[in-house]
Structure 1
Amino acid sequence: MTDADSAFNDVSQKETATGKALTGQRLRSLAFAYLAKKEFSKAQLRSKLLEKDAIPSEVDALLDELAQQNYQSDERMAGMLVRSNLRQGRGPQRIQQQLKKYHIDSTLAEHDLSEVDWFAEALACKIKKFGEDVASDPKIKAKQIRFLQYRGYQMDVIMRVIHHKAED
């Protein structure tokens, strides 16, 4: 194969690759199909569409349009993440990690996070795992502290929870 032949093959491969790129209605349909299944952050949806060989400028324009028409909303996604993580017994630090994982600005979840009684959430989590008794053994207390830290609760809340008695 000559250099001219290999150059022709490179050009033709690029043309076929761009010919198969998602554009227009196909791109829009795929975006709606993803959003119909579950909520996505803007960054997640962008990466999923780019995986399908979509043109970045068209993806950005489509995402702006979807956000403007409220089909895609990072604020809605942030609220969903907060509620989901609360149901799983996770604290504010773990929720912040989740927001970063999905590339969502943490300020979008501030309202939802500020309404939570973190002491009550941590206490419910501790009672579910260890019961209502206050541990006197340092090893058991350390185990409870580690558990609540892993769940993402702050140390001041954890200390109040592990010393909390039912009659308080």
Structure 2
Amino acid sequence: MTDSKFSKIIDYEALKAQYGENEPSSQNPFSHTDDALSFNAQESTQKPGLKGSRLRSYAFAVLTRKEYSKAELIEKLALYAENRQEVLELVDELSNQHYQSDQRVAEIVLSSQKRKGKGPNRIKLALKTKKIDSQLIQEELKETNWAEQAYQLKVKKFGTNVEKDPKIKAKQIRFLMYRGFEMDTIIQAINRKFDEDELG
């Protein structure tokens, strides 16, 4: 074989050395094909790009299925919107017109968490996850008899006996702490004696 048969290869290697590995070569027959494949791949991963009335319709459709906090709704719509600023303005409008309400979401979270036997700390954590200020339900949190809630949970899990065994007491404390109750409430619950009059 002679060197002349490899002149194109030698020239290509020289170009790579001069311009770098990523410099496109005019002699590469696959360059346009690669570009087309890359473009198609980008197109297939693009967001739908909702805007205007289509974005508004989608927002209403989302809100008819469930209540969203303001922060949640923004992130939900932003996944499909063309412009995030339009999403922010739309959500502000929906909130001002009470189609979206952090107050309603907070009350739903409070009711749901209480039914599940969760204490105030777990409820506040659930609200924080949704980026909702717990001050929205501050009055409801204050009015709830958490000592009674904690006691009922303790009875359901461990019975009515007031335990003297430190290990069992520690287990009860951990259980109620995990449920989100304050320590003073927990101590009241585990030391509360069963009153037969409660059955009447």
Say whether residues 1:144 and 2:182 are aligned partners.
no
Higher deviation after alignment, 14-23 or 31-40 = 14-23
Residue 31 (structure 1) aligns with: 59
Question: Between Structure 1 and Structure 2, whose CA radius of gyration is higher?
Answer: 2
Residue by residue, what CA displacement relative to the aligned partner does 1:25-49 show, whole Å, maximum 9, x if unpaired?
A: 2111211121111110000010011
Size of the aligned set, in residue pairs, is: 168
Residue by residue, what CA displacement relative to the aligned partner does 1:100-142 show, whole Å, maximum 9, x if unpaired?
A: 1000012112122111011011111111111111112211111
Residue 49 (structure 2) aligns with: 21
Q: CA deviation at 1:14?
A: 8.9
**Aligned equivalents of 2:48, 2:132: Cα separation in 1:** 31
Q: CA deviation at 1:53?
A: 3.6
**Aligned equivalents of 1:54, 1:44: Cα separation in 2:** 17
Can you give the 5+ residue segments of structure 2 that lack an aligned partner in the other structure?
1-28
> Please, what is the CA RMSD of the aligned residues?
2.8
Residue 12 (structure 2) aligns with: none
Q: CA deviation at 1:19?
A: 9.0
| 2:167 maps to amino acid | K
**Aligned equivalents of 2:100, 2:81: Cα separation in 1:** 21
**Aligned equivalents of 1:19, 1:151: Cα separation in 2:** 40
Say whether residues 1:133 and 2:138 are aligned partners.
no
**Aligned equivalents of 2:82, 2:112: Cα separation in 1:** 31
Residue by residue, what CA displacement relative to the aligned partner does 1:58-110 show, whole Å, maximum 9, x if unpaired?
A: 11111111111111000110111111111111111111111110000121121
Summarize the alignment of residues 8-87 of structure 1 with structure 2, pairs less than 5 Å apart: 20-87=48-115
**Aligned equivalents of 1:157, 1:18: Cα separation in 2:** 52
Structure possessing the higher relative contact order (Cα contacts under 8 Å, 6 or more residues apart) = 1
The question of whether the paired residues in 1 share the 8 Å contact of 2:106 and 2:132 is answered with yes
